[in-house]
Each structure stands twice: as structure tokens, then as C-alpha cells.
């Protein structure tokens, strides 16, 4: 287990007229090698929870333990926590600031006091991981790049810290389909090839369905559902009650089944639906 959250409560502006309970008794365990989708509509507490994972916020009560370190204990080493858990915010490209792509990505590792050679190899590797050409782009200004490229520079900056857990808050917001597929493809590779534990916050049920193996659902500061991807998307009515949905393709298969066609309605991708339907339609055709 890499992250353990116990009875976590968080209150914004305590003891003022603006007091608001943002997290309400959250209990959660993240295992190494998990790929978790965190969903919930705006204001459900997702971002507040995410900011607890690397000590940016400290619990009002309860505990967050990252790889054995309690983020709220006095001797808890937050620097170490932030190295273990890399956090990519929404629109991370707004945080780029250096003159060159290289310097921007090198900023974190340099601050760790690493040797020049180590910084160099980390920058190079991080750029490879997000699919940015090292030789061509390292001396370019990050501000001259396309939106999708800027975002990948920002993610590379986090990866250069070699985190064990990567948390991404809506990494595809505002990108076009091509940019989105590029980023998601890279994230999947990080998971599969680098073995990084990933927590993905997203509003797109289609993206969640395609990628993650576990889902956590937040609602009004509470963790209301938790389970494997298929298991969660089987509960369409419950998700709709929470203002969420299921992938369009899953919705189609459910509706099709309810009209008397015995198909597997737990499919999550177009690819799966195609296989299932071809089997079913051919069988039906032969009767």
C-alpha cells in the first residue's frame, strides 16, 4: 500500500461564516500498481482530496500516510512526500515559467540538489516519456509550443522528479481529440511500462472506461462508491443520481439488451461492443 487515508475530514475557512466541509470522513487505500479513476461532479471534493495526497493541504482531522510518512506529523518530511507523489494540476501549462523547455523540466530535479548529469538524464528521459523530441525542443521557449505540447512539458516537469504516484487532475481539459489521445496514450504507457501508480481525475466517462482498473466516486465531500471499473459502470442509475453518467457505448448496450437482446451490457469500449455484437448478430442470423 502506497497511500493510506484514514477518517480524513477537511473544512475550508473553519470558524467563519464561510465554513464549508469539503471532505467528510474519507477512508481510502491506494495500492502500488493501481490505476484509479476519480470521478464526481464539480464541487464534490475531488480537487481537495487530491491536494491532500502530497501534503499541499493538511487534514483538519484524520490521517494521510504516503509510503509510511504521515503528512500532518511535525517531523513528516513533506519534501519527500512531494517527490513520491507527483501532482499535475488542471491547465498545468499555466505554471510554465522558464526560458527553455530544458530549464523548465530541470527546475524540480535541480532543487533536489542532484548532480548535473543526473538532472540531464532525468530531463531527457522525462521528455521521452511524454513524447517530446529532446534535441529539437530542449532549447525552445515553452511558450512557443502548441497547447498539447506545453501540457506535456508541464507533465515532464513532474515526471523528472521520479514520483511513485502520479496524480493528474483533468489532464485533457481544453485539448482537442488528437491532443487528448496523445496525452492519454502517454499516461497509459507510463502505467504499463514504467509501473507508476496513477490517479486520474476526469469528467469523461469514455476516457475513464478506456484506461483505469478502479474507480472512486465522490459526492458532496464523501466517498460514495468504490470498485472495479466494470462494477461501477454497471450501476448506471446510481451514477446518474449523482449527476454522472456512463460511457455512451455502455449506455447503448444496456438499452439494446433491455429490448430483448441477450448481450453482455458491461462492455466499456467500442472495440468490446463490436466483438460482442458481431458474435450475437451472427448467432441470431444463423437461427
- In the bound state with other proteins, the residue whose beta carbon lies nearer, of 99 and 176, is 176
Contact between 237 and 275 under an 8 Å Cβ cutoff? The reply is no
Q: Is 93 left (phi over 0), alpha (psi -120 to 50) or beta?
A: alpha
> What is the CB neighbour count within 10 angstroms for residue 104?
22
- Length of the chain measured in residues: 287
CB of 30 to other proteins, least distance (A): 24
CB of 59 to other proteins, least distance (A): 26
CB of 8 to other proteins, least distance (A): 24
Contact between 243 and 254 under an 8 Å Cβ cutoff? The reply is no
- In the bound state with other proteins, the residue whose beta carbon lies nearer, of 121 and 261, is 261
CA pair distance 103, 98, nearest whole angstrom: 6
CB of 136 to other proteins, least distance (A): 17
* SS3 category, 125: helix
- In the bound state with other proteins, the residue whose beta carbon lies nearer, of 261 and 266, is 261
Footprint on this chain of other proteins (rule: CB under 8 A): 41-43, 146-148, 173-179, 203, 206, 243-245, 247-249, 251-252, 255-256, 259, 261, 270, 273-274, 277-278, 281
CB of 148 to other proteins, least distance (A): 7
- In the bound state with other proteins, the residue whose beta carbon lies nearer, of 58 and 203, is 203
CB of 101 to other proteins, least distance (A): 19
- In the bound state with other proteins, the residue whose beta carbon lies nearer, of 34 and 170, is 170
- In the bound state with other proteins, the residue whose beta carbon lies nearer, of 84 and 151, is 151
CA pair distance 141, 102, nearest whole angstrom: 9
Contact between 130 and 159 under an 8 Å Cβ cutoff? The reply is yes
Instruction: Write phi, then psi, for 156 (nearest 5 degrees).
Output: -60, -35
> What is the CB neighbour count within 10 angstroms for residue 246?
23
As given in the structure block, the three cell numbers for residue 48 are 481537495
Contact between 53 and 167 under an 8 Å Cβ cutoff? The reply is yes
Amino acid at each position: 500500500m502506497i497511500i493510506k487515508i484514514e477518517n480524513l475530514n477537511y473544512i475550508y475557512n473553519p470558524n467563519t461564516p464561510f465554513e464549508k466541509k469539503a471532505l467528510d470522513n474519507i477512508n481510502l487505500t491506494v495500492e502500488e500498481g493501481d490505476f484509479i479513476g476519480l470521478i464526481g461532479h464539480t464541487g464534490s471534493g475531488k480537487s481537495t482530496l487530491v491536494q491532500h495526497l502530497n501534503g499541499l493541504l493538511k487534514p483538519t482531522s484524520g490521517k494521510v500516510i504516503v509510503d509510511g510518512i504521515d503528512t500532518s506529523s511535525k517531523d513528516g518530511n513533506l519534501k519527500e512526500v512531494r517527490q513520491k507523489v507527483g501532482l499535475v494540476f488542471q491547465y498545468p501549462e499555466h505554471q510554465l515559467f522558464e526560458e527553455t523547455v530544458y530549464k523548465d523540466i530541470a527546475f524540480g530535479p535541480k532543487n533536489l540538489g542532484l548532480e548535473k548529469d543526473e538532472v540531464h538524464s532525468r530531463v531527457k528521459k522525462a521528455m521521452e516519456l511524454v513524447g517530446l523530441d529532446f534535441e529539437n525542443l530542449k532549447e525552445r521557449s515553452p511558450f512557443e509550443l502548441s497547447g498539447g505540447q506545453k501540457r506535456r512539458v508541464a507533465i515532464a516537469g513532474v515526471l523528472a522528479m521520479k514520483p511513485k504516484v502520479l496524480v493528474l487532475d483533468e489532464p485533457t481539459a481544453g485539448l482537442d481529440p488528437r491532443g487528448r489521445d496523445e496525452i492519454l496514450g502517454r499516461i497509459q504507457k507510463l502505467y504499463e511500462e514504467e509501473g507508476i501508480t496513477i490517479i486520474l481525475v476526469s469528467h469523461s466517462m469514455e476516457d475513464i472506461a478506456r484506461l483505469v482498473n478502479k474507480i472512486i466516486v465522490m459526492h458532496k465531500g464523501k466517498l460514495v462508491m468504490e470498485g472495479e471499473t466494470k462494477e461501477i459502470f454497471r450501476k448506471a442509475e446510481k451514477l446518474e443520481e449523482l449527476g454522472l453518467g456512463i460511457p455512451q457505448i455502455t449506455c447503448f448496450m444496456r438499452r439494446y439488451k433491455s429490448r430483448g437482446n441477450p448481450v453482455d451490457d458491461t462492455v466499456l469500449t467500442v472495440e468490446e461492443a463490436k466483438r460482442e455484437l458481431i458474435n450475437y448478430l451472427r448467432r441470431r442470423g444463423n437461427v
